[in-house]
Amino acid sequence: MRISTGMLYQTGVSTIQQKTTEMLNTQQQVATGRRVVAPSDDPIASSRALEVSQAQTLNLTFQTNQGYAKDSLGLLENKLAAVEEILIHTRTRAVESGNGSYSDSELGSIAIDVRANFDALLGLANSQNGNGEYMFSGYQADVQPFTGNIDGVTFQGDQGERTLQVSPSRIMSVSNSGSEVFNDVRAQLGEFFAVPGTPNGGTGHVAQSQTTAAYTGTRYSIAWDGTNYNVTNVDTGAAVVSQAGPTLTFDSVQLEMGGSPSVGDVFEVGPSANVFNMYTNMVRALENPSTTVGIIGAVDQAIKGMDEALDQVLTVRASVGSRMNEVASLEDVASDLNVQYAQTLSRLQDVDYAEAVSNLTLQQTYLQASQQSFMRISNLSLFNYLS
């Protein structure tokens, strides 16, 4: 086999380039701390590392959502705790107002306090989070959920609950509709609430209510036309009765109306009621005691209403607490997953520094040897032996 000078040079340069490439690759591994600098270094490890990295990124997204959920639920729990305190205080004042020795002026003072409680409760119902979103408006975060005053409150939101995906298999509610918290306060089975509705600009209220037979949950609307109270069955739309009052008797319901309603004022009878309307009825009764039955009936209903409203808030608050505990558990799981992903990526990608430094030293020796060998071989020529 003939070995030409060109072949000697080509082989020498190729060897030097190969050793230089190997040394540079090892230098990159040492500098970056990664064994797999390019996918070609280890295609299988690179593919697996990509999968793990994607899973890790998704897990970090869930952790971010868990943080948002924790903040939202914590703020919600805080507002519900404040609502609970207001309802307890109002109930206390209702019990106090049942003292038969109180004068009208003393009852008026209690009414002022209850009005203040109403305003505070309405403010909490219209609470906003740090992003300016209304907490109790359902899906309509930019819509104020409750509008109005002591003469009547209207709910502008919806029944929706905003959600966040906090794990691959869990989409969690991070809000509760104001309708659930404030609107649908349920009476005990076989009982009903009778309260002013909207509109209600006069001083009319329900001074006393009772059943004359088994109450089955039918809802009624009572409208004052200036002469009579016109009762309508809300469920069927049928007119029931029209009476001048103050005593109204229809189906299984008997009411004693108090105060002076304005034309068009509406009253609601049913198995559930709006907590704000309960406040309206209580304030009207305290400010304008019935000349026939006084305030005992209205106070009794107010106490029952506050009890049921408090139970409802406690139920929602318990649900919020349960979700907060779940988020805490999911945070622990996500944190453990992050550690596992980091360990897996380290095993797939990270370089063994002892091995890499040893290889680098050996490759430097190989490169130097290749360079020196090439220098010696390139000097071999017959002309060196001719004189």
Over residues 191-201, the pLDDT tens digits come to 999 999 887 88
Note the pLDDT of residue 172: 92
Segment 37-47 shows an average pLDDT of 66
Q: Is 364 found in the same domain as 304? A: no
Q: Which of 270, 304, 322 is the last residue of a domain?
A: 270
State the total domains in the chain: 3
Three-state SS for 218?
Answer: coil
**Residue range of the domain that includes 333:** 72-187+293-350
Check whether residue 301 and residue 345 sit in a common domain: yes
- Cβ atoms of 217 and 271 closer than 8 Å: yes
β-strand 185-186 against 170-173: which pairing, if any?
unpaired
Cα(76)–Cα(68) distance, integer angstroms: 12
Give the three-class secondary structure for 56: helix
pLDDT of residue 201: 84
| CATH number of the domain within which 92 lies | 1.20.1330.10
How wide is the angle at C-alpha 279 spanned by C-alphas 273 and 284, nearest 5°?
115
> Does residue 136 belong to any structural domain of this protein?
yes
Query: Strand locations in 49-149, DSSP E?
Result: 146-149
Residue type, 62: F
pLDDT, one tens digit per residue, over 283-330 is: 999 998 888 888 999 999 999 999 999 999 999 999 999 999 999 999
pLDDT of residue 46: 67
Model confidence, pTM: 0.79
The answer on pLDDT for 100 being more than 90 is no
Whether 55 maps to a domain, the answer reads yes
Give yes or no: residues 87 and 130 share one domain: yes
- Distance, in Å, from the CA atom of 23 to the CA atom of 367, rounded to the nearest integer, reads 8
Determine contact, residues 138/106, Cβ cutoff 8 Å.
no
pLDDT level of residue 34 (50, 70, 90 thresholds): low
In a domain, 66, yes or no: no
pLDDT at 8 over 60: no
323 and 183 belong to one structural domain? yes
pLDDT value of position 294: 86
| pLDDT at residue number 40 | 59
What span, in angstroms and rounded, lies between the C-alpha atoms of 264 and 286? Answer: 22
Residue 209 lies in a domain: yes
